[in-house]
Amino acid sequence: MAIKPKPNELLSGINYKPPLKQWMDEPVEFKKGYYCYGAKPKNLEYIGFPNGREWNSSEQDWKLVDNWKEIFLEGMENLLKKFRSFRLFMDICVRCGACADKCHFFIGTGDPKNMPVLRAELLRSIYRRYFTVAGKLGKIAGARDLTEDVFKEIWYYYYQCTECRRCSVFCPYGIDQAEITMMGRELINLLGCCTDWISGPLANCYRTGNHLGLQPHTIKSNFDYMLDDLEEHTGVRVEPTFNRKGAEILFVTPSADFFAEPGVFTCMGYLLLFHYLGLDYTWSTYASEGGNFGLFTSNEMMKRLNSKIYAESKRLGVKWILGGECGHMWRVLHQYMDTMNGPADHLEAPVSPITGTRFDNAKSTRMVHIAEFTADLIKNGKLKFDPSRNDNLNVTFHDSCNTSRGMGIFEEPRYIINSVCNHFHEMPDNTIRENTFCCGSGSGLNAGEIEELRMLGGLPRAHAVKYVKEKHGVNMLSCICAIDRAVLPPMIDYWMPDVGVCGVHELVGNALIIPGEKERENNLRGEPLPGMEEKGEEE
């Protein structure tokens, strides 16, 4: 039968790879859209990081310093001495595989080196080789030499981990790949191989206090612009203060909330809430960033950036600090800040000035999560809502990795959402709360050049959203994380358009009834409220 072409010939472009080898024998292949650009020397220099240079992560020659290997191994020894977690996690993994299919990057890409256990083994093989007796036996002991290719492999896969800790939930010994990734990235930073997307915001944040490098006057005028919008939608003129000494509370939120959409709408929610309460609080331009890219760079950098919050609270003489909606920001505030930059003796144990509730769970760090603060207000009947203003929304809630697995804030945001919305539906059980799936872009991976990787990493989350969209007609994905608000819109847009993304306090701002407000026709986004659509058209 000559009429049939061999169909395989139609796919001549496809390489059929050789049969499955051991993973150590499989050299790393850098896929386009899966890895970031390298850090620019000027940014590294500004924050005093070593070995900055002009280099390109897609080229063969990374221009590593001559003694890079010694630096790496010395750094590793240093970290092993400093972190019990690191040494322990290098030693006790039994490779049971419970973590393997829990990683959103493995689920999305199918790349076996994205199994958390194997991502850890990339570094463990080096640990065995240079820091254990048995490792001298080489491959049979699971050890291998540190070569430039091995280093690149570590780099490639340690920037394909969002430090979401989902694997850690399922590990029988609590081995946390986030912790191992942090160690790996500390080593990477010793060699000046940070990514451009992380090092830029680091330098900006160090200098100006926020990731985008906004100078104080820009922040101020940007707020004024936002306040105009807010007045237009609500008829209320809100007048926040900046760098004001003697305020009772300092408010810190990720800077994305005041210059990126849809974060600004969440910010409007905060502003309305505080205005309504008559809260004695101030913003700071010096500590204008809650987020902290140091968390996924090095513990020292994390401390340096975080120090601004306590320093500013001391300078301004506030009593305690309130923190906005953010994921990795709260991991730092909850688990690191007090240890790194405390004790916060200049502050007082936080007490809500409205309800008198003492936040005992924050009595040492003296910083309260806004969801805790608002949930307490609602419980005490201090807020009046018109939930029907959110009736055009069918809401679900995305638990952010860091606040879920590094804090455990589950009920507070749900309580708030259920108080301000009439339509709320949970995503499937094993994709929320401590089992939540990452947005796919955390830990400094929200760079544009890895859009493909991020979309694949977000696939499990997208599937869960799709499920509630089809089943319950969900059209709004709410969250308490600024990275989520930045990266979920494009991710959702790619996989299943027509689901929006918002912060929880945007919903609060929509529903909050404020004395003196005009009859609201628009929500905070300037879109007509349910029942007001026609009116909007007439105008």
Partner 1 sequence: MGMIFSLVAVIFLAAIAFMGAKLNLFGLFGVAIPYLAVLVFIAGFIRKVIKWGQSPVPFHIPTTCGQQKSLPWIKQSKLDNPSTTLGIIGRMALEVLLFRSLFRNLKTHRTDGGPVYGSNKWLWLGGLAFHVTFFVVFIRHLRFFTEPVPAWVNTLDVVDGFVQVGVPHMLITGVVLLAAATYLLLRRIFNPQVKYISLPADYFPLFLIIGIAVSGILMRYFIKVDIIKVKELTMGLATFKTTVPDGIGGIFFIHLFLISVLFAYFPFSKLMHLGGVFMSPTRNLANNSREVRHINPWNPKVKLHTYEEYEDEFREVMKSEGLPVEKE
Partner 2 sequence: MRIGLLLSEKKHEIAKTWFDLIVETYPQDTANFLKTQKNRFGNPVGFTISEGIDAILGELSGELDLARVSPYLDNIIRIRAIQDFTPSQAVGFIFLLKKVIWEALASEIRKNQLFDELLVIESQIDQLANVSFDMYIACREKIYKLRANELRNRTSRILKMSNMFKDTEAEEKDTAGF
| Interface of this chain with partner 2, residues 463 to 522, rule: CB under 8 A | 463, 486-487, 489-490, 493-495, 498, 500-502
- Give CA–CA dist 269/64, Å, rounded: 48
Q: Counting contacts by CB under 8 A, is residue 216 touching partner 1?
A: yes
Integer CA distances (angstroms), 394 to 2, 44, 388, 462, in order: 58, 45, 11, 16
Site for partner 2 in 204-233 (CB under 8 A): 212, 214, 218, 221-222, 225-226
- The site partner of 500 among partner 2, partner 1, none (C-beta below 5 to 8 Å per kind) is partner 2
Site for partner 2 in 229-268 (CB under 8 A): 256, 258-262, 264-265
Please count the other Cβ atoms lying within 10 Å of the Cβ belonging to residue 8: 9
Q: Is 88 exposed, middle or buried (0-12, 13-18, 19+ CB in 10 A)?
A: middle
- Output the CA torsion sign for 486, 295, 352, 283: negative
Task: Determine phi and psi for 144, rounding to 5 degrees.
Answer: -155, 160
Which residues does 17 contact at the CB level (< 8 Å), separation at least 6? none
Site for partner 1 in 252-291 (CB under 8 A): 285-286
Least Å distance, CB 500 to partner 2, is 5
Q: Counting contacts by CB under 8 A, is residue 495 touching partner 1?
A: no
- The site partner of 277 among partner 2, partner 1, none (C-beta below 5 to 8 Å per kind) is none
**Nearer Cβ to partner 2 (205/344):** 205
**Collapsing DSSP states into helix, strand and coil, what is residue 133?**
coil
Least Å distance, CB 35 to partner 2, is 11
Per the omega criterion (within 30 degrees of 0), is the bond before 413 cis? no
**Nearer Cβ to partner 1 (23/494):** 23
- Give CA–CA dist 335/407, Å, rounded: 8
- The site partner of 470 among partner 2, partner 1, none (C-beta below 5 to 8 Å per kind) is partner 1
Q: Counting contacts by CB under 8 A, is residue 528 touching partner 2?
A: no
- Which region among 66-74, 369-377, 449-457, 529-537 touches partner 1 (by CB under 8 A)? 369-377
Least Å distance, CB 125 to partner 2, is 17
- Give CA–CA dist 92/69, Å, rounded: 25
CB-based contact 201:280 (threshold 8 Å): no
Least Å distance, CB 285 to partner 2, is 15
- Build a one-symbol-per-residue string for 4-33: x at contacts with partner 2 by CB under 8 A, - elsewhere: x-xxx-xx-xx-xxxxx--x--x----xxx
Task: Determine phi and psi for 99, rounding to 5 degrees.
Answer: -85, -20
- Which region among 193-201, 210-218, 259-267, 392-400 touches partner 1 (by CB under 8 A)? 210-218
**Nearer Cβ to partner 2 (350/509):** 509
- Give CA–CA dist 46/61, Å, rounded: 24
Site for partner 1 in 13-52 (CB under 8 A): 20, 22-23, 48
Task: Determine phi and psi for 282, rounding to 5 degrees.
Answer: -140, 155
* Lookup: tokens for 114: 């994205």
Q: Counting contacts by CB under 8 A, is residue 111 touching partner 2?
A: yes
- The site partner of 262 among partner 1, partner 2, none (C-beta below 5 to 8 Å per kind) is partner 2
- Give CA–CA dist 234/113, Å, rounded: 52
Question: Which one-letter DSSP state was computed for residue 140?
Answer: G
Side-chain half-sphere CA neighbours of 213 within 13 A: 7
- Build a one-symbol-per-residue string for 80-99: x at contacts with partner 1 by CB under 8 A, - elsewhere: xxxxxxxxx--xxxxxxxx-
Q: Counting contacts by CB under 8 A, is residue 117 touching partner 1?
A: yes
- Give CA–CA dist 510/263, Å, rounded: 14
Chain contacts with partner 2 (rule: CB under 8 A): 1, 4, 6-8, 10-11, 13-14, 16-20, 23, 26, 31-34, 101, 106-112, 212, 214, 218, 221-222, 225-226, 256, 258-262, 264-265, 448, 451-452, 455-456, 459-460, 463, 486-487, 489-490, 493-495, 498, 500-502, 525
